[in-house]
Homo-oligomer: A and B are copies of this chain.
Amino acid sequence: MKQMTMETLQVELGDRSYPIYIGAGLLKVSSYFTDAIRRKQVMIVTNETIAPLYLAQLEASLEGFQVDKTILEDGEQFKNLDSLNNIFDHLLTQKHNRTTTLIALGGGVIGDMTGFAAACYQRGVDFIQVPTTLLSQVDSSVGGKTGVNHPQGKNMIGAFYQPRAVVIDTDTLKTLPAAEVSAGLAEVIKYGLIYDQAFFSWLEENIDLIKELDAAAITHAIKRSCEIKAEVVAADETEQGLRAILNLGHTFGHAIEAYTHYKEWLHGEAVAVGMLMAADLSRRMGRLNEQDCERITKLISRADLPVRPPVSMTKGDFIRYMAIDKKVLDGQLRLVLLESLGRADVTADFPADMLQETLALFTTH
């Protein structure tokens, strides 16, 4: 076997600590899985898109175990209690006991559902995350959020539950649509913006290699992203303070996603534009210099991400979807803004007219 790029990151959570392995070809290496599996039973949960691509590889690495599979339909619309019950049905039919291990093979939807199934099955069994999208690799690997959607709201039903290990095979990105790689890069860039100017500079230098999925470059980008998320989450387990900076660009982004009915725009694309809007407001407030603001726009653009909202979206649409009028009146509109390139905070203290100017700049009518 040729020399592999492989990095390990230990997420420190006391007796719930776990390793994240990152590198090319890891799916083919048994030990990453077998080290984390307690007994003989394994249930792989994946979807119809991922199964033909990577299920056989993973199964080959699990020789000698009782390996059962639950293959769900692909899509956010299947992230619900019915799919969860489908996993439980398979577990019970195949007589999985409390020492079983669930393996989530897929993107964020599969990871969230499998983690929640593991949290609930017989009041908690082990699970291993194998995220196959860049977004899930840099987002769901850390934080322990699991759950499903309810018709009346996303992620309304769930649990905080940590995996035994996360195995990130960067080769799985080779089959990911380019737009989804870019959407994942939006979150990677976010980590630089909110926490690490040097990482942001490194991204500027390596964005082309990353887009080519160069193993060393993408491995570092993922590792540093997970590290930053782990540091931010560890500093704020209760999700009251610092952790909120992980939402840079999300308030503006959610307005774009809502306006496009969560269909046309990928989450990361909306966040990319949202980050530019937050940067623009930060610049107007004198927190960010013009040059850094331009660097951000340029990097996002080079990552093949949009830099403007949908052309048809008006200032009024933003005000409506962000409920700005009401929230500004109540002093409840809190935004994540940049203090400088590499530092962010959450504040309700910004001039309303500057917010209006930012909205005006990013819309045409």
Contacts and interface: CB of A to CB of B under 8 A. Distances in A.
B92 A81 contact: no
Contacts of A147: 120, 123
A123 B238 CA distance: 12
Q: Which of A85, A92, A120, A159 has the most chain B CB atoms closer than 10 A to its own CB? A: A120
Contact of A88 (B119, B156, B160): B156
Nearest to A82: B81
Interface in A52-92: 81, 85, 88-89, 92
A152 B93 contact: yes
Contacts of A321: none
A140 to B, nearest CB: 14
Nearest to A91: B156
A121 B120 CA distance: 13
Interface string A147-160: 10010110111111
A122 interface: yes
A157 B93 contact: no
B123 A158 contact: yes
A120 B88 contact: no
Given A81-B81, A93-B152, A152-B93, A88 B123 contact: no
A152 B81 CA distance: 17
Nearest to A93: B152
Contacts of A145: 123
A25 interface: no
A124 B160 contact: yes
Interface of A: 81, 85, 88-89, 92-93, 119-124, 145, 147, 150, 152-153, 155-160
12 contacts: A89-B152, A92-B152, A93-B152, A119-B159, A120-B120, A120-B147, A120-B158, A122-B157, A123-B155, A123-B160, A124-B160, A159-B159
Pairs of residues from A and B, 6 with the lowest C-beta to C-beta distance, nearest first? A92-B152, A123-B158, A120-B157, A88-B150, A123-B160, A123-B159
